[in-house]
Homo-oligomer: A and B are copies of this chain.
Amino acid sequence: MTTPTSVPTIGVFDSGFGGLTVLRALIDRLPRARFAFLGDTARLPYGSKSRRTIARYAAESAQFLVNEQGAQFLVIACNTASALALDAIQQAVPVPVLGVIEPGASAARAASRTGDVLVIATEATVHSRAYTAACQTHGLRTMEKACPLLVPLVEEGWTDHPVTEEVIEVYLNELRAEAAALGLNPDTLVLGCTHYPLLRTLIERAVRPGVKVIDSAESAAQAAAQLLSGSSGSPIVSESTGTTHAPQTEIHCFATDSVEKFERLGSRFLGRPVGHVELVDLGG
């Protein structure tokens, strides 16, 4: 398939298909770009694995998107890989790479008045302390919590189930108690996992009044659009396509396993059918 050289290919990578929430937000902002999305589903979840293993998997995935799919810009639509492997990915490919952590921290800075922020994420993301480090550079204090049950609950489709409501309540109560014990007064909650936007309604219901919920998927897409618009005069950014006929966004999805599951569940995350998903073998 030929693509005009003025339309960049944006590679979007996740360990699974949760990152499709980031792709969805990117499409809203860059409707004329060509997107190549890779879900490393044969080796998911990254969230419970070590830094060394995650870095190797993520670097191989990034190289596929750049070398095989011609991506000129990479968005790491996976908090765990952003937290543990951004350096490794940047070293593995010769294109700009954007993770989701820094945009999330930056959005938290903009939202918070007290300067105290809560973060919920996977075990590996929390263990990495990447959000705490990123928030610290913005002068924010943080309390992070791993919520390992939320991803399986989303994947089971229980996004509006009383059990999920109870699990969120348990996690947030523990998190608030830990924050209070340290004298924090948090007014912002960062969703540090690309599955969590599907629980946004339940989470917003569970937070205290006045607490703002930050979606790192949205924040990353906004940062990507700004970067691309700044670097290229952006014929592809949404706002600048008003007077021309916007073509259908070109999306190619790849997975290392479970193409059937990807196609079935992916549309919940993307908010539209994902279409044909191509199986790729990264040798893992």
Closest residue of B by beta carbon distance from A150: B152
What is the CB-to-nearest-CB distance from A64 to chain B, in angstroms, rounded to a whole number?
16
| Docked CA distance A114–B82 (Å) | 54
What is the CB-to-nearest-CB distance from A30 to chain B, in angstroms, rounded to a whole number?
31
| Docked CA distance A162–B166 (Å) | 10
Closest residue of B by beta carbon distance from A260: B50
- Which chain B residues border A201 with CB–CB below 8 Å? none
Checking B49, B53, B152, B170 against A152 with a beta-carbon cut-off of 8 angstroms, the contacting residue is B152
Are A163 and B152 closer than 8 Å at their CB atoms?
no
The reply to whether the CB of A200 lies closer than 8 angstroms to some CB of chain B is no
Are B48 and A261 closer than 8 Å at their CB atoms?
yes
Checking B44, B163, B166, B258 against A50 with a beta-carbon cut-off of 8 angstroms, the contacting residue is B258
A197-212: CB near B (< 8 Å → 1, else 0) gives: 0000000000000000
What is the CB-to-nearest-CB distance from A99 to chain B, in angstroms, rounded to a whole number?
22
Q: With contacts A42-B53, A53-B257, A258-B49 known, is A163 near B156, CB below 8 A?
A: no
The reply to whether the CB of A88 lies closer than 8 angstroms to some CB of chain B is no
| Docked CA distance A41–B47 (Å) | 12
The reply to whether the CB of A92 lies closer than 8 angstroms to some CB of chain B is no
Closest residue of B by beta carbon distance from A167: B163
Are B152 and A50 closer than 8 Å at their CB atoms?
no
| Docked CA distance A149–B151 (Å) | 10
The reply to whether the CB of A148 lies closer than 8 angstroms to some CB of chain B is yes
**Which residues of A are at the interface with B, using a C-beta cutoff of 8 A?**
41-45, 48-50, 53, 148-149, 151-153, 155-156, 158, 162-163, 166-167, 170, 257-258, 261, 284
